[in-house]
Structure 1
Amino acid sequence: MRASLLLLAAVVTLWGAHWPIMKVGLAHVGPLWFNALRFLTGGLSLFLVVALLGRLRVPPRRDWPLLLSVGLGQMMLFGVLVMYALRHVPAGRSAVLAYTTTLWVTPLSVLILGETVSRRKVVGTVLGLAGIAVLFNPLTLDWSDRAVVVGNLILLVAALVWALCILHIRAYRGLSSTLELAPWQMLLAAVPVTGAALWIEGPHPGDGTLTFFLVAAYAGPLATGFCFWAVNQLTARLPAATFSNAMLAVPMSGILFSAAALGDLPSGPVLLGMAIILAGMATVVAAERR
């Protein structure tokens, strides 16, 4: 459990910081090339790690469904949807909406996987969703701006895609470990995104500035290579309700990093929502320890 908590803390920190970094990166590179570069560099770093460990092999046929689900769903589709939405939605708000995955994961894990959810976990989940509702605050959304409304809807669709991938990871029993599959999943995501970037955005990724290279270095090996492996590892280890509630810490981290880096200071309702989410997470963790 301690190892899982340390891994979770690393993901929360790295992915929280990634939201304002993505927002900055979009000023230097198109959304398709941003995703293509982070999947290519993240995948190459994982191929190197797996090869050095002597565990590099082509995934057996039994693992192909999981390869396709995570590579094309959780990585490619989720990543592209989020990057397009970020062009019209602030980084902090985007992080909150993308992690409404909890709305789908907990009830679907009960209905589809037959997982049992204790009363404390139900209370914790309700608190977490209440905190998300406070953070989202639809009253502050400019409903007359079509681009903003579509951007928010795209983030909700991205959350549903990720939720379905989480359920697949939990239900499927493959032959390869998450580390052995991760580089191949990223390669699978990188190929179509790179092709689309060449076709739609042209053959020149980025503006060649120092900021562009720093963003690419962070987004690839760390926020993509390491974090996607870590998240899939946690998905397989932790119950769905526990994992989805714990991941609510990422948008809170994203809000704090966005405030520090972009000057997007959290308001009173945002602080209230974060406190409610923390209460929900504490309730779920207490239930898990029991």
Structure 2
Amino acid sequence: MGNTILKNKWMVWGLILLITIIWGYAWVLMKAALDFMGPLTFSTFRFGTGAVTLLLFVLVLKAGKPPRQMWKHLFVVGMLQTAIVFSCVMYGMQFVNAGKSSVLLYSMPLWSSFLAVKVLGERITPGKIVGLVMGMLGLLTILGWDIFFVQDPAVIFGELLIVAAAFSWAGSNTYYRLKLEGMTQLQVSAYQMLFGTIGILAATVVTEWGEPVHLTSASVFYIFFTGVLASALCFTVWFVLLSTIDMVTATLSTLLVPVFGLFFGWLILGEKLTGSIITGSALVIAGIAIAQVFGREKSASRVDM
């Protein structure tokens, strides 16, 4: 799949647009799901559903089991990408609203860019630096300057958890590029999600055992949408993108997710779109455009984005 995408940059951007829209919409559902069950319980249902879906595809497509020496690397990615990221995010969302949560998590490109330079030795062109700075400034504008002032300690705790999740996701991206690029993206996505689900399940048993779970048509829809589409589909596509284009470009594109998240919050939940949100969203989009127009660098092995 990666070789086909490599030849068509429009297909790359089509996939980026697809996953950012789905992930943006998923933020609304993740917040709504907290009305029906605990945050870790929901994550267990979500990623359990995603892992089963992917393992069925592995079976049907006869993708086979990963080589034995890769299991430990899949375990590490599963802990970083699934268990830590979404345990921290879902727990933090109890104290932080959905829009602000998505903005904080998508500070990930900043950490990923730093790790790409320090660990992977990737070069960041001046255009991409300008685009990244503009994008992060846009996120800060959306977030609001209130983050720098005195707040409820519970809110600060939730925000720190989500920032920790962003760094864990960046670490997962880097570790994938170091250890797992030779594997098929379907295998990576399926088995890392399986290990991540086991990690979340263990945390759920310890912290939320016996808490009420309300399975209704709405909550089941939230589980299946976030499990099958936002997790199984999107994370498989995400690993394809990480194998196809440089990590800075891939992660920078995810800055669109909180923009879509805020849009769907306005469209579906009636959340207010303030001037700072509109301005910040414009900065994010402008930053991505600048990075792509002025940040190009020829590469023989990856898509020239």
CA contact (8 A) 1:117 1:241 kept: yes
How high is the TM-score relative to the length of structure 1? 0.94
> Where in structure 2 are the equivalents of 1:32-43 lying within 5 Å?
32-43=40-51
Using the TM superposition, name which of 256-265 and 188-197 deviates more. Answer: 188-197
In the alignment, structure 1 residue 284 sits paired with structure 2 residue 291: yes
Correspondences of 1:18-37 after superposition (within 5 Å) = 18-37=26-45
Of 79, 90, 103, the match for 1:96: 103
- The answer on whether the counterparts of 1:73 and 1:161 sit within 8 Å (CA) in structure 2 is yes
Give the CA RMSD over aligned residues.
Answer: 1.8
CA drift of 1:61 comes to 2.7
Structure 2 counterpart of 1:162, from 163, 169, 172:
169
Residue 222 of structure 2 is aligned to residue 215 of structure 1? yes
Letter in 2 for 1:209: T
Kept in 2, the 8 Å contact 1:60–1:175? The answer is: no
Deviations 1:106-141 (A, max 9, x none): 122112211111121111111111111211223267
TM-score by length of 2: 0.89
CA contact (8 A) 2:108 2:167 kept: yes
Q: Which amino acid aligns with 2:274?
A: S
Aligned pair count?
Answer: 289
CA distance in 1, matches of 2:36, 2:148: 27
Establish whether residue 15 from structure 1 lines up as the match of residue 12 from structure 2: no
Q: 2:52 corresponds to which residue? A: 44
SS in 1 for 2:121: coil
| Structure-2 separation of matches of 1:181 and 1:203 | 33
Question: In the TM superposition, what whole-angstrom CA distance separates every residue of 1:22-49 from its partner, at most 9, and x where no partner exists?
Answer: 0100100111111111111101111111
Identity of aligned pairs, percent? 30
The one-character-per-residue Cα deviations of 1:159-191 (angstroms, maximum 9, x if unpaired) are: 111111111122225542111122211111112
1:130 pairs with 2:174: no
Consecutive unaligned residues in structure 1, runs of 5 or more: none
Q: Which whole-Å CA distance do the structure 2 matches of 1:142 and 1:18 have between them?
A: 29
C-alpha contact (below 8 Å) 1:19/1:254 kept by paired residues: yes
Query: Which of 86, 92, 116 in structure 1 is aligned with 2:93?
Result: 86
Q: In the alignment, residue 24 of structure 1 is paired with which amino acid?
A: A
Instruction: Select which of 1, 11, 26 maps to 1:3.
Output: 11
Name the stretch that deviates more: 75-84 or 109-118. Answer: 109-118
CA distance in 1, matches of 2:215, 2:128: 48
Unmatched tracts of structure 2, length 5 or more: 1-8, 297-303
Provide the rounded CA distance (Å) in 2 between the counterparts of 1:173 and 1:51.
Answer: 20
Distance 1:236 1:66 in 2: 16
SS at match of 2:214: coil
CA contact (8 A) 1:62 1:175 kept: no
